[in-house]
């Protein structure tokens, strides 16, 4: 902050007015003479006056700022969601301050503290891949600061949530694989204390059962979101007695890396092994074979979360809403084994 910033008082002094009058003129209040208003506005313009929102925030006891905690900005899903939030927020005159937990519970806790002492008006949160308890949000609720969870939600907390239909879409994707003739479908299942991952796995399991197939433990691979040594995982899979004929990956990058490793081993995709991605990143269209994936309207989820939160803030209405944004299965070559 520059020490010579011009304030409302400065303007008042220059015009021989009181700060109250200047404040009113600037705020578009009615109780002020048109001539003086014009003079004030002109001078403010000329001096490039910009209201000190810090002072404003202290006075108003609100910051018009939304705090966002997400696992990673590098993740395109979250990057896109942030875009949506910022769009809605700035339209409504709110700022957004973003923290990354880096998939770590400890950092997530720190993020909460940071945002709280920065006096954000509300929180939008997607929990980290390590978050198996939610007591660090107690403080937030205690201070009556509204939270909206999105995608990776904290079920037990009574607050609004924006989710996608993980269960249904995961089931649909699995059924698609089965319809293509796949009988031994491996799935990369995320941390099971996450609501999301649980639902995704449930969808997979139900699809298998409903199709009369046997659901085998060994095809369910426990993984997290920080993937490494994908080649080992692939080797493990292809060395099985009953080698899988399809893999439902945890995300597109994992899927593409697997395809790469499998191709190098001489397997054909999808003839030998079909591969299903998750997230539908733009690259899916341009790889060989094009990757079947699941598209989430991340931007809409972000918009929705921000709109929900702002609505809570503006109306004071604290009723909990749960909004579900539908994902979509995008079928491409990597799973297309049967010509219709």
- 3-class DSSP assignment, residue 154: coil
- Rounded Cα distance between 55 and 245, Å, is 63
Q: At what angle do helices 19-27 and 8-15 cross, to 10 degrees?
A: 110
Residue 282's nearest CA partner among 273, 267, 293 is 293
> Does residue 47 bind DNA (CB under 7 A)?
no
> 13, 29, 38, 113: which one contacts a copy of itself (CB under 8 A)?
113
Told to check if 79 binds a copy of itself by CB under 8 A, we report yes
27 binds, among DNA, a copy of itself, none (CB under 5 to 8 A by kind): DNA
Shortest Cβ 125–DNA spacing (Å): 24
9 in contact with DNA (CB under 7 A): yes
Alpha-carbon gap, residue 264 to 192, rounded angstroms: 32
State yes or no: residue 136 binds a copy of itself (CB under 8 A). no
Nearest approach in angstroms of CB 59 to DNA is 4
Residue 71 and residue 7: Cα distance in Å, rounded?
A: 40
Print the binding letters for residues 306-335 with a copy of itself: x by CB under 8 A, - otherwise: ------------------------------
Picking from 163, 233, 236, the residue whose alpha carbon sits closest to that of residue 200 is 163
Contacting a copy of itself (CB under 8 A), which of 88, 259, 308, 329?
259
Q: Which is nearer to a copy of itself, 19 or 260 (CB)?
A: 260
Asked if 171 contacts 333 with a C-beta cutoff of 8 angstroms, the reply is no
Tokens of 35: 């001539």
Are 73 and 126 spatial neighbours (Cβ–Cβ below 8 Å)? no
Sheet with 246-248, side-by-side order of all strands: 220-222, 185-189, 246-248, 274-276
Rule CB under 7 A: is residue 70 a binding residue for DNA? no
Give the DSSP H or E segment for 160: strand 160-164
Q: Does 1 bind a copy of itself (CB under 8 A)?
A: yes
Binding site for a copy of itself (CB under 8 A): 1-5, 48, 50-55, 57-58, 61-63, 73-74, 76, 79-80, 82-83, 86, 90, 95-100, 113-114, 116-119, 121, 139, 142-145, 253, 256-257, 259-260, 263, 282-283, 285-288
Binding site for DNA (CB under 7 A): 5, 7-9, 12, 16-21, 23-24, 26-27, 30-36, 51-52, 55-56, 58-61
């Amino acid at each position: 902050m520059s020490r010579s910033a011009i304030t409302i008082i400065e303007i008042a002094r220059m015009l021989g007015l009181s700060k109250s009058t200047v404040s009113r003129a600037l705020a578009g209040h009615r109780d002020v003479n048109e001539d003086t208003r014009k003079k004030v506005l002109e001078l403010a313009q000329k001096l490039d006056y910009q209201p000190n929102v810090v002072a404003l925030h202290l006075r108003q006891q609100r910051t018009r700022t939304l705090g966002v905690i997400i696992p990673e900005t590098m993740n395109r899903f979250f990057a896109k969601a942030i875009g949506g939030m910022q769009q809605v927020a700035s339209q409504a005159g709110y700022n957004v301050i973003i923290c990354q937990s880096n998939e770590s519970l400890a950092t997530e806790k720190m993020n909460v503290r940071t945002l709280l002492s920065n006096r954000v008006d509300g929180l939008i949160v997607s929990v980290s891949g390590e978050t198996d308890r939610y007591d660090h949000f107690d403080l937030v609720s205690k201070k009556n600061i509204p939270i909206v969870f999105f995608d990776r939600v904290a079920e037990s907390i009574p607050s609004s949530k924006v989710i996608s239909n993980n269960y249904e879409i995961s089931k649909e994707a699995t059924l698609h694989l089965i319809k293509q003739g796949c009988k031994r479908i491996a799935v990369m299942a995320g941390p099971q204390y996450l609501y999301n991952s649980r639902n995704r796995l449930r969808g997979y399991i139900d699809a298998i059962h409903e199709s009369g197939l046997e659901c085998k433990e060994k095809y369910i691979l426990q993984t997290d979101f920080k993937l490494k040594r994908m080649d080992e995982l692939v080797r493990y899979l292809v060395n099985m007695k009953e080698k899988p004929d399809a893999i439902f990956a945890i995300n597109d990058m994992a899927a593409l890396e697997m395809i790469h490793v499998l191709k190098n081993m001489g397997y054909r995709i999808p003839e030998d092994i079909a591969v299903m991605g998750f997230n539908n990143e733009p690259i899916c269209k341009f790889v060989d074979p094009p990757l079947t994936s699941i598209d989430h309207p991340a931007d809409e989820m972000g918009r929705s979360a921000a709109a929900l939160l702002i609505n809570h803030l503006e109306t004071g209405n604290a009723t909990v809403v749960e909004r579900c944004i539908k994902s979509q299965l995008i079928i491409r070559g990597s799973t297309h084994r049967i010509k219709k």
